[in-house]
Structure 1
């Protein structure tokens, strides 16, 4: 395969995943412009095979020789005790000439920029950037590119592009174009942490979104038929909106799949490479269409159903079909009858011997029958399929079962051939200019697509040709013999003066010399600047200092009744997180009335929380929040850092503060009064954070219902209405109390915010009570208790016990035991103590 496009449009980079060497080869040989890969530490796909630091020099030589860039993923949160190791790790990556690092952690962005003023940083989708303010935030950290959240529509991408150009903060934007969709916002999913102590922010996602759930509305199970996979989106395919993505001006299109096989990488990369080339050569983007063969290949690569995700906007009826949460492939048809060891299928797609099939009876959670086709007899639109003896239990297959093709060995063989073997298969062009006249040397100047240039001179002088002069055609024939190299001859411009001759052997030598020199230039590592003596400690501007102020219990409530109960319990710092921000005004007035009654003009203070996500066009929500005239605001994202910059602000857990470099950046640059420690930290990591940063600026949540999934997908709309979004769903979120029940019988609370985004809260509250005295002894003074759906009586009782705990009147174990007696609370020890 050769790269031959002469684009009318500025094509985005095609970025492919690589979990190992074979995947890297598959990506390169099928036309990727760049690959991204993890090493053995600090990456969000720790289950992938991954490369090692020792692989880097050889891998980067291979990629650069082939004209492909390589980006390393360091897209997890970094804990305090890991900063010194991360520092050396980053130095190794920079010195190896990697093209960029994809980063989630704010502190790591700072550290990279401290170690190297020019090394490229790409802000990961794990940074949850959904707006121009998020792009500006990334730019302030020294990032050179932003990977937008997958939830951004093309309309929103265009709006972000327009805004960042208007504000002169433009950065290149990257979007995911294909692959598995996380149902939760990346960087905001705490499900694995809540249920098993495995953090998605640490590359250990347990994929709870792919599991079946029951929907419970107002205490009754909703009959959804076969729809059980309420949180499992179809896989993203951006093929049909590729022209619009090119028009949007995004710089890079990213394929998901670092856990996938090389055949997947080859397949998907090839489809998008060819599609981009068709866009490049199209006279009009409106004429570019999707080929049926491409959709077939993509479905065979990996498919839970293919859909454009959020690119076209929100459609909650289509995003999640809810019928299965695992790979299916191509829909083959439906079983019409079974007899004599043969199964008749009404065909919706072609089938041949060797194909692997699975029979779907509507219960994907159970073991399913499947096997390889031995023989096919087609009769019109039906086919009689025969399988190997004892491959299937025919008693478990029924008329009406759907049949899926999950394997196509012939396609897999073709894909493996695309990247196997020693010789390069995806070639890059060399353009040549040839100069010379009688008595001079032949000069050949070669340029590649990366702007490398070499000049080679003949060792033999040109003489006049009496027969067979060096014509353009002859030069093309001899200098274009580039087999077994990663190049092909592009344009050759002949500037020879007169009829000249040079031995073929000399032309061949020159050709080999050109290739050798170009390969040497292309293989060189990028010479980034590197401060070998740089240390992360250089970036901390605040010295750790013990706090001598009294311990403060901070209470977050989610309705006015809980607020009244917290006031009655004499809580002096109150947070409100209500589904409707317009209710905040009443909450503030309630607190002001309490102050008047108590003759205390400033205490208690009330802080209100905007929603976790802010997208273009949602400033009206922030206006509603500020209209409450609260004492301050609980900041969840980058838009809110900007919008509430002149107000009193506290950083919430969603800012992912996991180390002192991140804490210091938010506190110093944005003057936040406190920062809530990331919920990914266990007790030992919390201790490290408190002892490496000033504890008076930190806050730890010690009691809460963990917010597990935070998502654009609206379960209320999808399963309790026929609507597609808020404009036509009838607002079932305002009419029903809804929970989802998992496979072990736990019921988790579902809430919608004012932007129609859903949060699934762990139905069981967790406590860190056993670690409270230890945290206090280290200087921590701000402890948060969060309520969800507790009654006012439960609120008062819980506060009473925590106050006893802080005052040393009961132990953490005693508190846990006392709260556990309140079965409706269902408190557990939680994930705080997990390693």
Structure 2
């Protein structure tokens, strides 16, 4: 279902002063740290050996923190630790110990996803800075306010927010008469096709959760598009879910005008050359913007910059969603791996060379790859040995003997330059060794008069100030007095330090002089002391360790268990009503206009069974109710969808994001899995702070982790989903629009999502159902249902009461049959293992235990 209408985000009404944003670079190891620092990063972000969303990076250890922070702070660079994963109940004690080490080490902030971890940080430190991670899925001002209430001092917006939406979020913050919370955006690097914090693909397919730092990058794999049961011929477009890489260079001035506080470069898994290149390009581009603002100039070669960005790492460079939605451009579909710079198309192939008309510069030693449009089958590539221009305009390329299989290369293949050794060497010279290359301004003041010491004050603009007096008194100058120029010449000699002379204010009285040796001595001592002060760890308040937060869990098993059925069509709803035996029905329809019809059907059914015991189960404490779910993501301008959902007059609403918490604050509401409830601190916050009746336990939890959660909080707090097709990718990218139309968005796509039943076929032959919602966002579902039936008795013993089963494409007959089997389980007429076996038989594709099965591997490993 495509969106029918959407109000445009309001344009900014109040001009904002231009504020220089922080340039934030990734750092996977020490070399990357140096690469970032020496090329102008204002801050770096890095992970430790646990609790971060890039577990494949080298990462630092707790023992590294003091030296790392001292190095960064001496260079005027802030350091942020990524704590951007969901934390399970049994890990909370370890998480607290980690956080205490982080805070005591003087780290500048922690980047946090988990709501409970934000609460834990505030419990142990009232002033340590929290940055809300993009994994929080903040897409509007309600999400910004959510982060503020948790104590965050900055929030990272979703990559899917456009510049217009960023303006709208800023204006909404101001309209609320609150000081705007600083906003951070990703400005360059790999784009996740799914919303961060909402991708369950790796978890579903292999127990490697993106919310736990172990994304398997299934989005970079090839897929076939299946529409109405037939494969769509897309030619060489196979990488349907692989976006081009984000490059915000062209919209940098607009991001600055939008008041973004921090510009983040993605890439903690990338090489130091990548970090050096991207950091210096954006440093130069930012400096140029602000130089022009001051009617000055700064060097910046735009063509050279784009070449460099392409060569360091590129799947194609694109502005992402900054300029709005353009589904024809975001994911071209031809490849999902690094390419570089396009050199041209092969015109001829011989036994020992190829020919083409070069479109970009190429030299011997450069690395190239031949693109036949089928990356998964393997590609030919290597280093060019000779480059021979021909009279007809072609260029012949020769390679080392045996380096290529020329029979696999065909005329028409694209040729890409994917490595430039000269550029790599140049980049390494920017950070190798101990040499200080990038310096930051220090402001200088001098005071004094004849027969008194000279007072020298250094201020690094970061709160560090040094004041020293000369050991020799100033004397009246007979010649060569300490003029402004003379002072700048001498006090500006800061080579070998991380400083450069900023402003110099002379308050000397009269023409005075001082021996140059003394002036140099005091300059050296002052800069040394300033360097020492900057290296001292920041002091945050750290509360003594107290007993952990606990919640009374009266988990004696109740007399009956409740079955909740989630349906995705009116036909499934009718089958569920006919089956009976449920406590509540949840509806998640592609078109929320149909919710009104669903509620009418439910009320009619309700009237027909009034006064009767609901068939199949013991009487409920409260009568069955119908609940409806708004779309999983909300962005500025989509209030009309929420109004449409509420107009159904359902009994309650399934809240799935921060805007829902605000919009439905006066209604009955329960939290869906998208709130990422993985520990009792998070669960209690949503229930007590937002008045949710229950929350759905995170789909990242396996059986052992669910048992730990139930053992720490009342079972009545939770819905446990024990049968479902896991929702894997949840995307702004619309596959229907991109590959079944020529349109760029819902306005001109023709709404193929309303006309076709579509699936994506992966490399194993599995056909994964694809659905669109009212906001035109797509969800890819696992084609095999997973069940936790075998663990039902264990959950009941821990006090779990509410068990949810979900349907996607099941027929009414399948719905009826599945409900009947779970009714037997809840009544105790069949055991979990027996039900597991029956479900495997009656389901065409069988069933799986999915993520709920306790995996043998250790998710987090200490170095």
TM-score, normalised by the number of residues in structure 2: 0.94
Who is 1:438 aligned against? 450
- CA positional deviation for 1:327: 0.5
Who is 1:556 aligned against? 566
Alignment of 1:322-401 (within 5 A): 322-339=333-350, 341-379=352-390, 381-401=393-413
2:499 counterpart of 1:490: no
**Residue 804 of structure 2 is aligned with which of 781, 784, 795?**
784
- CA positional deviation for 1:825: 5.2
Change (3 A) 1:271 1:833: same
Structure 1 contact 183–231 (Cα < 8 Å) conserved: yes
Structure 2 contact 340–418 (Cα < 8 Å) conserved: yes
Q: Deviation per CA, 1:163-214, whole angstroms, max 9, x where unpaired?
A: 0110134211110000000000000000001000110000000000000000
- CA positional deviation for 1:345: 2.2
Distance (Å, rounded) in 2 between the aligned partners of 1:357 and 1:199? 34
- CA positional deviation for 1:446: 1.5
Alignment of 1:669-688 (within 5 A): 669-688=689-708
Structure 2 contact 551–713 (Cα < 8 Å) conserved: no
Which range moves more in the overlay, 566-575 or 222-231? 566-575
Who is 1:429 aligned against? 441
**Residue 270 of structure 2 is aligned with which of 260, 277, 300?**
260
- CA positional deviation for 1:234: 0.4
- CA positional deviation for 1:300: 0.6
Who is 1:3 aligned against? none
Alignment of 1:671-710 (within 5 A): 671-710=691-730
Which range moves more in the overlay, 206-215 or 399-408? 399-408
Distance (Å, rounded) in 1 between the aligned partners of 2:18 and 2:579? 64
Which range moves more in the overlay, 497-506 or 141-150? 497-506
Who is 1:64 aligned against? 73
Who is 2:596 aligned against? 585
Distance (Å, rounded) in 1 between the aligned partners of 2:611 and 2:231? 48
Which range moves more in the overlay, 622-631 or 471-480? 471-480
**Residue 133 of structure 2 is aligned with which of 124, 141, 149?**
124
Structure 1 contact 549–781 (Cα < 8 Å) conserved: no
Distance (Å, rounded) in 2 between the aligned partners of 1:290 and 1:432? 32
Change (3 A) 1:97 1:42: same
Who is 1:4 aligned against? none
- CA positional deviation for 1:387: 1.2
- CA positional deviation for 1:544: 4.4
How many aligned residue pairs are there?
A: 827
Who is 1:798 aligned against? 818
Structure 1 contact 773–806 (Cα < 8 Å) conserved: no
Structure 1 contact 40–52 (Cα < 8 Å) conserved: yes
Q: Aligned to 2:377, what secondary structure does the other structure show?
A: coil
Who is 2:156 aligned against? 147
TM-score, normalised by the number of residues in structure 1: 0.97
2:585 counterpart of 1:574: yes
Q: Deviation per CA, 1:753-782, whole angstroms, max 9, x where unpaired?
A: 011000000011111111111111111111
2:108 counterpart of 1:99: yes
Q: CA RMSD in A?
A: 1.8
2:500 counterpart of 1:480: no
Q: Aligned to 2:430, what secondary structure does the other structure show?
A: helix
Q: Aligned to 2:848, what secondary structure does the other structure show?
A: coil
2:544 counterpart of 1:532: yes
Structure 1 contact 749–761 (Cα < 8 Å) conserved: yes
Distance (Å, rounded) in 2 between the aligned partners of 1:755 and 1:470? 68
- CA positional deviation for 1:290: 7.5
Structure 2 contact 553–715 (Cα < 8 Å) conserved: no
**Residue 164 of structure 1 is aligned with which of 153, 173, 185?**
173
Structure 1 contact 17–36 (Cα < 8 Å) conserved: yes
Structure 1 contact 114–534 (Cα < 8 Å) conserved: no
Who is 1:765 aligned against? 785
Distance (Å, rounded) in 2 between the aligned partners of 1:775 and 1:419? 55
Structure 2 contact 350–406 (Cα < 8 Å) conserved: no
2:625 counterpart of 1:616: no
Q: Aligned to 2:814, what secondary structure does the other structure show?
A: helix
Which range moves more in the overlay, 370-379 or 316-325? 370-379
Distance (Å, rounded) in 2 between the aligned partners of 1:654 and 1:466? 78
Distance (Å, rounded) in 2 between the aligned partners of 1:813 and 1:635? 33
* Structure 1 gaps, min length 5: 1-6
Distance (Å, rounded) in 2 between the aligned partners of 1:656 and 1:521? 41
2:541 counterpart of 1:521: no
Change (3 A) 1:248 1:542: farther
Distance (Å, rounded) in 2 between the aligned partners of 1:290 and 1:728? 37
Structure 2 contact 557–796 (Cα < 8 Å) conserved: no
Q: Aligned to 1:245, what secondary structure does the other structure show?
A: helix
- CA positional deviation for 1:283: 4.3
- CA positional deviation for 1:340: 5.9
- CA positional deviation for 1:595: 1.4
